Amino acid sequence: MNVQPLGLARLVADIEAGLTTPARIIGAAEERIDALDGEIAAFVRRAPAESVAAAIAATGPLAGVPFGVKDIFDTADMATEHGSPLYARHRPVADAALVAMARKAGAAILGKTATTQFASLDPCGTRNPHDISRTPGGSSSGSAAAVAAGMVAGACGSQTGGSVLRPASYCGVAGYKPSFRLLPTVGMKTFAWSLDTAGLFAAGVADVALLAARLTGRDLARAPLADAAGLRIGLYRSSVDALIEPEMQAAWHRAARALEAAGATLVEVAEPAALSAARDVHGAVQNFEAAHALMWEHRTHRAAIAPRVLAQLDEGAAISPADYDAARRTARIGRRTATSLFETVDALLLPSALGAAPEGLGSTGDPALNKLWTLTGNPCVSVPGLTTTAGLPLGISIVTRFGRDAEALAIGALLEARLRA
């Protein structure tokens, strides 16, 4: 399949220069969805004609930008089903906060993108545009695939373990998991309230930075860095690195050397024991909270729950409050330790996934490298631009201190530019 993402920054510049119009861009995106989505299955429903017409006439900093919404975010004009038959045809009365922000900015929401059930682990049938025999990752499967295939220029997703960074890596696009709660989760289906983080996808890092800036009004799309002079980049060596596949190891090394050639100083950073322990309690925190957030579904409709999420809910229901509180204490220590890492480095560099997208559609991949940074709340950017020898995408993550989202995006954009030079 010929995959060509839509560059959001270029699209916005062309609209603002009068070289094209929102109607033309939105019409072309709808045609591309018509042509490709039968095979990729990135969308579970399309926006009604009146919503598309309103988007064509909209004004704002994202006017004319085709946008996809993960189907765990409420939409007043479309059903929100959370990937579950329990919510078939469920129609919210209001947009989620992030959806309302996108509409206010003028974005053209063209439909709801596929999610695994309750944004968990059970695959939803979406295919990777780079190789339709492979997973696009999850749980933000449809959002990543839709951006990768050029159906939309931006999309929202969510991450509780690795559901933004991993699909971005597998699909060869930029994924941005902000500092915890930078983007609102009001109106998003809760899985684990202390972990759930709304995120964004776009073709490249500069694109996702511009998307985030224009959605939020924050200073997130700064002038490009000329080089990496003065930056100290930590090569984060974790307790799960033995799982990383050889071609991803090689990509990680190449990314490090690209930043070094741009003037950065590389620093080896061994994972502190407190962060290994924090990674180990992620599952307990997640599953205890999920068992409470989805208690009604779990108690009254057990037979309708997909097997992997059901196992998580059963596990979470068996965790005592005392054990959950102990896991939360370990997580808090991990967050403090994560902050201390940035006393000696400006950013960390690590793989966004263990390797390329796995073959088959029976799994969404392993979030082992992502879930720690979800638990600590640090901003992360998955940078595209590297591939396996077979041409499959590989993403590399930039992680920075909590609240330093603009720096993560700027360093990520520099890395992407150097990798593609």
Predicted confidence (pLDDT) per residue in 374-416, tens digit: 999 999 999 999 999 999 999 999 999 999 999 999 999 999 9
Range of the domain at 55: 8-216
pLDDT at 188 (0 to 100): 98
CB atoms within 10 A of CB 359: 12
Give the number of other CB atoms < 10 A from CB of residue 402. 16
* Model pLDDT, residue 374: 98
> Which listed residue (51, 141, 158, 163) is catalytic?
163
For 357-378, the pLDDT digits (tens) are 999 999 999 999 999 999 999 9
pTM over 0.95: yes
The answer to whether position 185 is within a domain reads yes
- Is 139 marked active-site? yes
Q: Note the pLDDT tens digit of each residue in 102-153.
A: 999 999 999 999 999 999 999 999 999 999 999 999 999 999 999 999 999 9
In a domain, residue 287? The reply is no
98 domain-assigned: yes
Please, is 12 exposed, middle or buried when counting C-beta atoms within 10 Å of its C-beta (0-12, 13-18, 19+)? buried
Cβ neighbors of 83 (< 8 A, separation 6 or more) are 71, 72, 114, 115, 116, 117, 118, 119, 122, 124, 139
Alpha-carbon gap, residue 204 to 383, rounded angstroms: 7
> Domains in the chain: how many in total?
1
Q: Structure tokens of 210?
A: 């511009």
H or E element, residue 145: helix 141-148
114 in Cβ contact with 46 (< 8 Å): no
| Tokens matching residue 3 | 């995959």
**SS3 for 63?**
coil
57, part of any domain: yes
Catalytic entry in 51, 70, 169, 382: 70
- pLDDT for residue 1: 75
**Residue 276 designated active-site:** no
CA–CA separation, 154 and 106 (whole Å): 13
**What would the pLDDT profile of 319-351 be if each residue is shown by its tens digit?**
999 999 999 999 999 999 999 999 999 999 999
Q: Is residue 294 part of a domain?
A: no
* Termini Cα distance of the chain: 24
Pick the catalytic residue: 139, 141, 169, 352?
139
Q: Does residue 207 fall inside a structural domain?
A: yes
How does residue 3 score in pLDDT terms, banded at 50, 70 and 90? Answer: confident
> Residue 139: is the preceding peptide bond cis (ω within 30°)?
yes
Assess if residue 413 is contained within a domain.
no
In this structure, is residue 81 part of a structural domain? yes
Which CATH number is 46's domain given?
Answer: 3.90.1300.10
Helix ranges (DSSP H) in 48-110: 49-57, 97-104
The strand pair at 66-70 and 108-113 is best described as parallel
DSSP state of 195: T
